[in-house]
Amino acid sequence: MNGSIPVIVTGAAGKMGRQVIQAVAGSNDMILMGAVDRQHLGADAGEVAGVEALEVPITPDLQSLCALVAQEKQAGVLVDFTHPRSVYENIRAAIAYGVYPVVGTTGLSLEQIQALAEFCDKASMGCIIAPNFSIGMVLLQQAAIQASRYFDHVEIIELHHNQKADAPSGTALKTAQMLAEIGKTYNPPQVAETEALPGVRGGLGPEHIRIHSVRLPGLIAHQEVMFGSPGELYTLRHDTSDRSCYMPGVLLSIRKVRQLQQLVYGLEKILD
Amino acid sequence: MNGSIPVIVTGAAGKMGRQVIQAVAGSNDMILMGAVDRQHLGADAGEVAGVEALEVPITPDLQSLCALVAQEKQAGVLVDFTHPRSVYENIRAAIAYGVYPVVGTTGLSLEQIQALAEFCDKASMGCIIAPNFSIGMVLLQQAAIQASRYFDHVEIIELHHNQKADAPSGTALKTAQMLAEIGKTYNPPQVAETEALPGVRGGLGPEHIRIHSVRLPGLIAHQEVMFGSPGELYTLRHDTSDRSCYMPGVLLSIRKVRQLQQLVYGLEKILD
Amino acid sequence: MNGSIPVIVTGAAGKMGRQVIQAVAGSNDMILMGAVDRQHLGADAGEVAGVEALEVPITPDLQSLCALVAQEKQAGVLVDFTHPRSVYENIRAAIAYGVYPVVGTTGLSLEQIQALAEFCDKASMGCIIAPNFSIGMVLLQQAAIQASRYFDHVEIIELHHNQKADAPSGTALKTAQMLAEIGKTYNPPQVAETEALPGVRGGLGPEHIRIHSVRLPGLIAHQEVMFGSPGELYTLRHDTSDRSCYMPGVLLSIRKVRQLQQLVYGLEKILD
Amino acid sequence: MNGSIPVIVTGAAGKMGRQVIQAVAGSNDMILMGAVDRQHLGADAGEVAGVEALEVPITPDLQSLCALVAQEKQAGVLVDFTHPRSVYENIRAAIAYGVYPVVGTTGLSLEQIQALAEFCDKASMGCIIAPNFSIGMVLLQQAAIQASRYFDHVEIIELHHNQKADAPSGTALKTAQMLAEIGKTYNPPQVAETEALPGVRGGLGPEHIRIHSVRLPGLIAHQEVMFGSPGELYTLRHDTSDRSCYMPGVLLSIRKVRQLQQLVYGLEKILD
């Protein structure tokens, strides 16, 4: 325990927070030092997360916990899966106390991220903000960018359960944007295409990348990027079945953030 | 050879005609008796098809061949993969001579098919007209119809090479129409869906069946029907890589058409 | 409620029993009348199942519940997901009281099933015993049997999480056995095959059907049956992500069992 | 034409040679200067390849062609898809004349490759030897190596037509070897596995990577690498339908080899 990384979890009673507490409790190089939430106040964070009692009560007070962790020998880490309203202040508080933030909460504005980056620079503190902690998805996106240099034709199919209201998925659109950044227009037409049913050829994303969204009960969360050239297809597919898939990325971030002296955005920045 | 089925092929020098001649030449219960085309006149039909010489010269005259075959002990079969302009007359000629037609040529009007059906009835002759001789595709469609009775949610994805101009594929639309005929509306919405990119949710086919068309070089011809219900997915997929895939259906039709006393439309009618 | 089907659930506190109670509570043509288990005695069955209170306490006494249900106007149904030790007596008790059994418990011997069938015959009572209540899987198996008449080449790939110790899965083996019953030997060799790594070509199931078992974390439960012939592939795939997938089959059985006068084995017997 | 790269093709009448001639003829930055084969001597290489006449007769004499190309302003390239017996001498002859070799012929021994590398070093000449010119497959292998650093569980499925005698495919085994080189043992067991059918769990490749080989008519050439961790799957798939898929890799090599001063083995070395 002596060399363990002290970890504070905000949003401790939420779905992601509970997963993080389970993952931290199951890792032998970190230790849960604090759990913040407005619900389940006073309850044991481990029991709320469905693991054994960890003797860490849920409190509403992040500042005091940061002050406590600041006294540890080992530099501490804050893992924040909370809400657009609270995430900015949580990160500032952590950095002020020398606690390194790992942030999965979405909704920070570009201005806020810029301000936090400057705050990190002044303090020479690392901070990792990532919209997606799935290592598999980041690997898929990196491999797709690599393939985009050699293939001129690509379409994306994303498939989700039919409770999902928006289409395309944010992740599929992000993938398309990453492919578009290389600066070429995909899918030069070979024939004059006609659509007998409007929409059948999918949505036209950036740089002519076609995106197709399938919604069915029984699906969970899936993304497929298909590259084609004469005589060959190269397909990258990611299937998510469970929130636990984000934990390897969160744990990797906890281990790496303390070696950084600046804010980085995106899990891909710390995959080497 | 004595009990072999005599076969005439029209469109003998075309892509499908050559395949049929290869398939007939490779079957030990049938024998090629005639080959009709306007091109390669006088050439050996077997050599044109890329198999050994069959001593059947290509001629322009279907009538004479039908008259010849009519003298055989075994009832003969005409296989027609020609052109909308000639197919109707070819079928009439064959029936008039007691030769059973197996027809893959598309473009016959409903009125023409009706007239041919009456002609068959009067002559007590069988005739098989099929828009698709792929047994795998027909099995997929039959299995999809069976599944449609138990699943309320279905989407179709069809994928073809990017030389294909029209979308959706005729076969995918046909599959959707077959599923629609059961008389229910699919995909009752669970949430109010929004499309950030128009068309991303695909084309809206009959009875709310969504169809998605992917076009990429490297693809050939593929169709996927996905049924979903809570906790499970049931997917039927058909991949075609080669025109040879239609031959089992053609050979089956050659063997079965002589047992029929009427015109049937669709390969599924003779799969029992 | 007046015309509702009275339902008793044995194994009410088990994973499947809870799902059944949720499904019955969510159906407007059935009503939970009794819940049997040795655990959670006295607790409300609805609350144990994670739905609202249903005012049905869990009791250990199936006989009394059957006697009670026997007095209802509507014929009742017993749903049994319990244990090989108790299932036989549970079914006998239900039939004796005129309650129709729907049974998902595995482990009954052929002799026991035969004895129960005779007991049903004497009482002119219906009973449904099924090793798999997934309608999608039964549809896949039926479609595969249909395809096996036209394809001579088939391989099965089943994929499960790496907590599963046995391979192949029972369902994959069952599918292979169903395909074997048609009475032909599949996969006639085209070349003399060699295996540079022993086992790479999979396990040799009945009638030369190859089966491949993949085990990885992240997988749940998947089965793929691939039929091939020159130029085409026909693939049937079933993906299960959740125990809820069995509920449509259980509810269908509850509705159909009361119209039967005999024991039937296998969900496929009631899919028409 | 003035700045075009002069290209000589050995094995010009073979399947790959013809493809290369088509690809060179279709590229506006290269020009076919010579075609070597023992068959079709004197015939026009373009006509043999199925494109228009290129006024390049097929000859048996590589040396003379190299001498001719050596007089061009632009440095020339030899593309060799021939035979293990002739490839070594062909490469030596080309280098001796200052013609840069791009080699797809397999069967060179390690000693031969080493000798050729030394020969290239002395001459400060580039040479590219690649067992697989499919850019998609090389991208898949590179992406798999990247993923292997973050995933501990992986299985490979390769699927080919049933004319293929050997299993696993050389490419699948190569992929497994590349994953093994990272120096960890994959697929730590979670349970004690049992095989009710021997081989059902596939072949055990290097470092416990499981490989499964499927053989069916209708398949062409496919490889799938599946990485799993709790809650997620990451799958890389490559489908080949046509020899044309190797041409982008050959053309890229023709353009890059003249910038090299040494022999490189593997297409991945020139993908940057």
Q: Does B245 touch chain D (CB under 8 A)?
A: yes
Low-confidence ranges of chain B (pLDDT < 50): none
Residue labelled with tokens 């709310």: B208
Q: Does C210 touch chain D (CB under 8 A)?
A: yes
ipTM of this predicted complex? 0.90
Q: Where are the domains of chain B?
A: 5-129+244-270, 135-241
pLDDT at C236: 98
User: For the segment A174-220, what is each residue's pLDDT rounded down to a tens digit?
Assistant: 999 999 999 999 999 999 999 999 999 999 999 999 999 999 999 99
> Is the confidence at residue A1, as pLDDT, over 60?
no
Arithmetic mean of pLDDT, A222-238: 97
Q: Does C228 touch chain B (CB under 8 A)?
A: no
CA C257 to mean position of chain CA atoms: 14
pLDDT at A272: 75
Amino acid identity, position C65: L
Taking contacts as CB-CB distances below 8 angstroms, the residues of chain B near C230 are 242, 244-245, 247
Residue labelled with tokens 């039939």: C95
Assign D3 a pLDDT band (cuts: 50, 70, 90). Answer: confident
Taking contacts as CB-CB distances below 8 angstroms, the residues of chain A near B204 are 197-199
Radius of gyration of chain B (CA): 21
> How far apart are the CA of D61 and the nearest CA of chain A, in angstroms?
32
Q: Where are the beta strands (DSSP E) in chain A?
A: 5-10, 30-36, 58-59, 77-80, 100-103, 127-129, 153-160, 166-167, 194-195, 203-204, 210-215, 221-229, 232-240, 263-265
| Helix (H) / strand (E) containing D221 | strand D221-229
In angstroms, the CA D246 to CA D17 distance is: 11
In angstroms, the CA C52 to CA D18 distance is: 73
In CATH, which of 3.40.50.720, 3.40.50.1100, 3.90.110.10, 3.90.550.10 is domain B5-129+244-270? 3.40.50.720
Q: Does B27 touch chain C (CB under 8 A)?
A: no
Which of A232, A237, A242 is the closest to D245 by Cβ? A232
In angstroms, the CA C220 to CA D251 distance is: 43
Assign A2 a pLDDT band (cuts: 50, 70, 90). Answer: low
> How far apart are the CA of C245 and the nearest CA of chain A, in angstroms?
8
Arithmetic mean of pLDDT, D65-78: 95
pLDDT at C272: 75
The strand pairing partners of A101, in sequence order, are A78
In angstroms, the CA D200 to CA D186 distance is: 18
Q: Point out the annotated binding site of C for NADP(+).
A: 38
Per the prediction, chain D carries an average pLDDT of 96
Kindly tell me the burial class for residue C68, based on how many C-beta atoms sit within 10 Å of its own C-beta (0-12, 13-18, 19 or more).
middle
pLDDT tens for each residue of chain C, 272 residues long: 568 999 999 999 999 999 999 999 999 999 999 999 999 999 999 999 999 999 999 999 999 999 999 999 999 999 999 999 999 999 999 999 999 999 999 889 999 999 999 999 999 999 999 989 999 999 999 999 999 999 999 999 999 999 999 999 999 999 999 999 999 999 999 999 999 999 999 999 999 999 999 999 999 999 999 999 999 999 999 999 998 999 999 999 999 999 999 999 999 999 87
Q: Do A248 and D229 touch (CB under 8 A)?
A: yes
A77 touches A90 (CB < 8 A): no
Q: Which among D160, D195, D200, D212 is the top mutation candidate for probing chain C, defined by the most C β-carbons within 10 Å of its own β-carbon?
A: D200
C115 touches C129 (CB < 8 A): no
Q: Do C150 and B143 touch (CB under 8 A)?
A: no
Arithmetic mean of pLDDT, A68-77: 95
Q: Would you state the structure tokens that stand for residue D72, as one six-digit string?
A: 């061009």
> How far apart are the CA of D257 and the nearest CA of chain A, in angstroms?
17
pLDDT at C2: 62
pLDDT at B209: 98
Q: Does D27 touch chain A (CB under 8 A)?
A: no
Q: Does A140 touch chain D (CB under 8 A)?
A: yes
pLDDT at B106: 87
Choosing from A83, A164, A208, A269, the catalytic residue is A164
Closest by Cα among A89, A98, A107, A102 to A128: A102
> Is the confidence at residue D158, as pLDDT, over 60?
yes
HEC string of B233-269? EEEEEEEECCHHHHHHHHHHHHHHHCCCCCEEECHHH
pTM (2 decimals)? Answer: 0.92
> Is the confidence at residue D1, as pLDDT, over 60?
no
Taking contacts as CB-CB distances below 8 angstroms, the residues of chain A near C214 are none
B59 touches B41 (CB < 8 A): yes
Assign A7 a pLDDT band (cuts: 50, 70, 90). Answer: very high
B170 touches B137 (CB < 8 A): no
pLDDT at B126: 97
Choosing from C164, C174, C208, C269, the catalytic residue is C164
Coil, helix or strand at residue C178? helix
Assign D106 a pLDDT band (cuts: 50, 70, 90). Answer: confident
Closest by Cα among B154, B159, B128 to B141: B154
Q: Known catalytic residue: A164?
A: yes
**Is 1.10.3720.10 the CATH number for D135-241?**
no
Closest by Cα among D73, D6, D82 to D37: D82
In angstroms, the CA C80 to CA C78 distance is: 6
> How far apart are the CA of A70 and the nearest CA of chain C, in angstroms?
38
According to DSSP, residue B208 is labeled: G
Taking contacts as CB-CB distances below 8 angstroms, the residues of chain A near B173 are 196-197
Closest by Cα among D77, D232, D76, D212 to D155: D212
